[in-house]
Structures are given as structure tokens and as C-alpha cells.
Amino acid sequence: MRSATMMRQVTLLGGVVLFMAFSLSRPLEAANKEHLQMMADIRMLQQQNQALQAQLSALTDVLRTVTTRLDEQAGVNRKAFADQKSLVDALTSDLRVVREKVDETNVRLTSISQDVDALRTTAAAPPPQPAPGGPPADPAAVPGQPPSPTPQAPPTGFGASPTRAFESARADYYAGQWTLAIQGFESYIKTFPKSDLTDDAQYYVGESQYSAGQFRLAVAAYDRVIATYPSSNTLPDAYYKRGLALNALGQVQPARESFEFVAKNYPDSDAGRLAKQALDRLSRIGK
């Protein structure tokens, strides 16, 4: 009886121990599973992070390549713009020269047309007839002999037309005969000091000297235009070409002042626009 009771107690105690062991093993197993799940999540996050870092590195390389190409393209664009600007400057200068030559050609054509009309009028006029019963047209004429030649008036330095004299000197200028052009324009100024073309003649003295490389004389000639003919239509060009001559002499600051004057006071003229371009070139060289 007592033995049976002890057996029941031992059996009950074993059951309690087994129950407690089973009860304790379940939380440990659950905790282990949660730990394994967390480790798996951490590994997954690490893999995702590595993938993102690889993508970021690839994007950085692409961005660096694109930036390099953009810089190269910007350099190409700047060079192309500079080349186009130089071409436009050259075309503007050539257009100005062509316009001047067209104007001069029109003036010369008008003068030639007037001379031709005068010759036609003279050729169409009938010869003078002696009056009835009066003396012959040539008192020295002898019947049967040819009339004596009519004495011609001695030629003057330029002829009677200031326009023809000016055009003659300018023809030497366009032909590149700088010395003859200078002499012709200076003689014109002395012969026709009150002519409307006197200021142009003085300007062309400077142009001829500039073309001949006589920059100091050209500066003096342009200064004479500025001082003597303050209302001349050549004044903007005189200031601009004075600046070019000074710059050729290495006098950069006086050249800059001359460009600034014409750019400020004659901004809409060809000389004003060319002066602005010259100032830009001086600024770039100064940098």
C-alpha cells in the first residue's frame, strides 16, 4: 500500500518535470526562430544595401561622364561662338568698305554723267557764224589756208570741278597709291578749303597714312579731323580709326579712350559697333 503510494508520487513528480521541461522548451524554440528570422532580415537588408551602393556607384560614373561631355561641348560651343563672332566682325568691316566704295562709285558715275552731258551739249552746238558783212570769225584767217588753232587755257592743278579733283585723289587711294593719294587730298584741302568734301579729304589723308603703316601721322591726321571739323560726318570713323592707330603704336589706354568715346556717343553707327568689338577684344587680352 505504501509502495503503491510512493509509485504514484514518483509518477506524478515525473509528469510535473516533463510538463515543466516541455513548457520551458517552447519559449526557447520560439525565441530561436525569431532570432533566425531577424538574422535573415539583416542579411537581406545588407544585400539590398550592397545592391544600392553598386547602383549609386554606377550612377556616379555616368554622371561624371555626362559632366565631362557637357564641359567638352561647352568648350566647343564657346570656340564656335568666338569663331562666328570673328567672322561677323570681319564681314561687318568688309560690308562697310563695300558700302563706301558703292557710294564713291555712285558719286563718280554722277560726275561722269554730267561731264558726258556737257560734251554732248558742246558737240551738238552749231559753230559760230560771222554776221553778214561783218569780219570773219577768225580775223587772222586767210582764204585758202586752214584757220589758226584756238589757244587753249593752261591746265590748272585739279580742273574746275572740286568733285573731280576729290575723286581723282580717292582713285589713287583705292588703287593703293598711298603717297599719291596723300598728296592729292592735301592739295585738295589747300585748293578748296571751303568745300563740303574738305573734311572727307582730311579723313582720307589719315586713311592713306594708316594703310601705309604711318600710324603716328595717321593719328595726327585723325586728330586734325576731330579738331577742325567737329560736325563732320566722318567724326565717328575718325575716332575709331584713331583708336586702331594708337593701339598699333602700343598706346592701349589712349586707344581704349578713343573707342569708348565713339561707342558712347555714336552707338548706332558702324564705327560705334566696331568700337564696342574693339573694346571687347582689349578686355579679353587684358584678362
pLDDT band for position 284 (cuts 50, 70, 90): confident
Look-up of cell digits 593719328:
219
Contact 189, 195 (CB under 8 A): no
What distance in Å separates the CA atoms of residue 11 and residue 162, rounded to the nearest whole number? 150
Q: Read off the pTM.
A: 0.48
| 178: Cα separation from own chain's centroid | 28
**Helix/strand/coil (H, E, C) string of the chain?**
CHHHHHHHHHHHHHHHHHHHHHHHHHHHHHHHHHHHHHHHHHHHHHHHHHHHHHHHHHHHHHHHHHHHHHHHHHHHHHHHHHHHHHHHHHHHHHHHHHHHHHHHHHHHHHHHHHHHHHHHHHHHCCCCCCCCCCCCCCCCCCCCCCCCCCCCCCCCCCCCCHHHHHHHHHHHHHCCCHHHHHHHHHHHHHHCCCCCCHHHHHHHHHHHHHHCCCHHHHHHHHHHHHHHCCCCCCHHHHHHHHHHHHHHCCCHHHHHHHHHHHHHHCCCCHHHHHHHHHHHHHHHHHC
pLDDT in tens, 108-140: 555 555 455 545 554 555 554 544 444 444 444
**Which of 185, 282, 285 lies closest to 234, judged by CA?**
185
Q: What is the pLDDT of residues 29-45, one digit of tens each?
A: 777 878 888 888 898 89
| Position 143 pLDDT exceeds 50 | no
Mean pLDDT of the chain: 79
